[in-house]
Structure 1
Amino acid sequence: MIRMKIKSILISQPEPATESSPYLDMARNAGVEVDFRPFIQLEGASAKEIRAQKVDLSNYTCIILTSRNAVDHYFRLAEEMRFAVPDSMRYICQSEAIANYLQKHIIYRKRKICFGEKTAADMLPYFKKYSSEKFLLPSSDSLNPSLEKALKDSKIDWTRVIMYRTVSCDLSDLKLSNYDLLAFFSPLGIKSLVENFPDYKKEKFKVAVFGNTTEAEAKKAGLSVDVKAPTKENPSMTMAIEKFINNSK
């Protein structure tokens, strides 16, 4: 078997804001070039699109927040739709980090803000405690199945509103032939590759994926997965890539 020496890697994520990135450390350790380029981006829904979903923000007394993006787009659209979010609004957040992020938009009131540890199931006790509320879930165009199950199991009065979506970036200026390995972190990243490069199968590059759903989408696209994370041996993408590079020398 002929091994392909890895000299250049493309990470399908935004460039890190600091030089302390584990990817940059990995590049130095392995002696390779690393570039960053996001393959997907968020696109906010318009007020018109929210109205088309027949959602009136004033009808809800509790907001379910599962990400910082959900926080930002909820308050952005509230402002665009001239809805003054009342001080009485309750917020149930999936994690403490999201709850703390709310301070960007509101005065923090612990009695009106509660949060889980990390998962959607962590919010279930709060759904039951405040079951008389009318819940609004600001979300992207894809809904986590575990969150949907938690909401259905709680039997609360909830409405989902799509406030933002993930779309493919324009990668027309990118040359895949410049890279020996491409790293993907979501199924949507793979779909962006397919959309932007119709002849991607003709290119010679190795593929690294993060997560089972990304791996499944890569295989669906006819790609051979060479590097996978997280695994027991390689809990991070950087560890997995560096090990692969060392084994390819």
Structure 2
Amino acid sequence: MKIKNILISQPKPNGYSPYEEIIEKYGLNIDFIPFIRVEGLSAKDFRAQRINVLDHTAIIFTSRSAIDSFFSLSEEMRIAIPDTMKYFCSTEAVAFYLQKYIVYRKRRIFFGKGNLASIIEAIGSKHKNERFLFTLADCYNPDLPLAFEKAGLTFTKAILTRTLTEDLSKVDLKKYQLLIFYSPAEVRSFMENFPDFKQNSTLFGTFGNATAATLKDANLKPCFQAPTPEAPSIAQALTNYLEKDK
């Protein structure tokens, strides 16, 4: 089937993205429409978790929204974060985002390559005795804290953000031959908005095992997944699929 229109369930990237090359090379259209939105928890909801931030010596961040929520809550609750606090982030981009709130110091800020294994690798033996505050969204993947448990790390789970479903009633699904999801929450939003959807000839791409599993639970089948050794990103997985589909 000739793919002419693709829908990605994320906000449009700021600045350059690899999707621009895909659009130009294959002569297709890509629309970016967020299927979910994330908001920070209130101080009341955070207090209900009975977490003392200052009992911890390091913080795990996997998203910019978690960083925003953490420092907003810290200010509202008048928690003075010590200069000795260490930060471990999922990617370099997330780590750099910390500059919005703190002075970026390499001895205190570490980052992985977009997966949990790389964060644990960044922690290594040098930092394994830290007491970690693991910041999460309300619909977090249970594999995340499980990996920390298996690594023998001491941590506390802290829910900092909640995920809300966007209204997609104005989206014309008939326009698109391929839909791409980055998270299980986006798949759930899709099914809530289109409960009677039948796959038929519609194609799907997914990022992450949990996203693919959620799609399959909805009786829908992805035509490609990322990350894999051949396709560490969705953009590469999409390129590989388009090459095969020529």
TM over 0.5: yes
Quote the residue 1:120 is aligned against: 119
Instruction: Return the offset for 1:125.
Output: 2.5
Tell whether the 8 Å contact from 1:8 to 1:180 is kept in structure 2 after alignment: yes
| One-letter amino acid of the structure 1 residue matched with residue 143 of structure 2 | P
Quote the residue 1:43 is aligned against: 39
Q: Does 1:6 align with 2:3?
A: yes
Q: Give % identity.
A: 40
| One-letter amino acid of the structure 2 residue matched with residue 32 of structure 1 | L
Quote the residue 1:74 is aligned against: 70
Pairing of 1:55-74 with structure 2 (within 5 A): 55-57=51-53, 59-67=54-62, 68-74=64-70
Q: For residues 150 and 188 of structure 1, what CA distance do their matches in structure 2 show?
A: 22
Tell whether the 8 Å contact from 2:88 to 2:119 is kept in structure 1 after alignment: no
Instruction: Return the offset for 1:238.
Output: 3.2
Pairing of 1:94-133 with structure 2 (within 5 A): 94=89, 97=92, 98-108=94-104, 113-115=108-110, 117-118=112-113, 119-122=118-121, 123-130=123-130
Q: 1:12–1:110: structure 2 CA closer, same or farther, 3 Å change rule?
A: closer
Tell whether the 8 Å contact from 1:177 to 1:204 is kept in structure 2 after alignment: no
SS in 1 for 2:125: helix
SS in 2 for 1:154: coil
The CA deviation string for residues 83-125 of structure 1, in whole angstroms up to 9 with x for no partner, is 23344x42241468355443321234566x2535542322242
The CA deviation string for residues 11-47 of structure 1, in whole angstroms up to 9 with x for no partner, is 11211222x3221221221121211112122121100
Q: For residues 106 and 205 of structure 2, what CA distance do their matches in structure 1 show?
A: 42
Partner of residue 194 from structure 1, selected from 191, 203, 213: 191
Quote the residue 1:227 is aligned against: 224
Q: Does 1:163 align with 2:164?
A: no
Q: For residues 231 and 116 of structure 1, what CA distance do their matches in structure 2 show?
A: 20
The CA deviation string for residues 149-185 of structure 1, in whole angstroms up to 9 with x for no partner, is 32564363x4222111233222122111121111122
Q: Does 1:84 align with 2:80?
A: yes
RMSD: 2.9
Pairing of 1:175-194 with structure 2 (within 5 A): 175-194=172-191
Q: For residues 242 and 196 of structure 1, what CA distance do their matches in structure 2 show?
A: 28
Quote the residue 1:205 is aligned against: 202
Q: 1:83–1:241: structure 2 CA closer, same or farther, 3 Å change rule?
A: closer
Q: For residues 201 and 166 of structure 1, what CA distance do their matches in structure 2 show?
A: 25
Higher helix share: 1
Quote the residue 1:140 is aligned against: 137
Instruction: Return the offset for 1:245.
Output: 4.1
Q: For residues 71 and 160 of structure 1, what CA distance do their matches in structure 2 show?
A: 15
Q: For residues 230 and 135 of structure 2, what CA distance do their matches in structure 1 show?
A: 37
SS in 2 for 1:225: coil
Instruction: Return the offset for 1:203.
Output: 6.7
Q: 1:225–1:78: structure 2 CA closer, same or farther, 3 Å change rule?
A: same
Q: 1:99–1:8: structure 2 CA closer, same or farther, 3 Å change rule?
A: closer
Tell whether the 8 Å contact from 1:229 to 1:237 is kept in structure 2 after alignment: yes
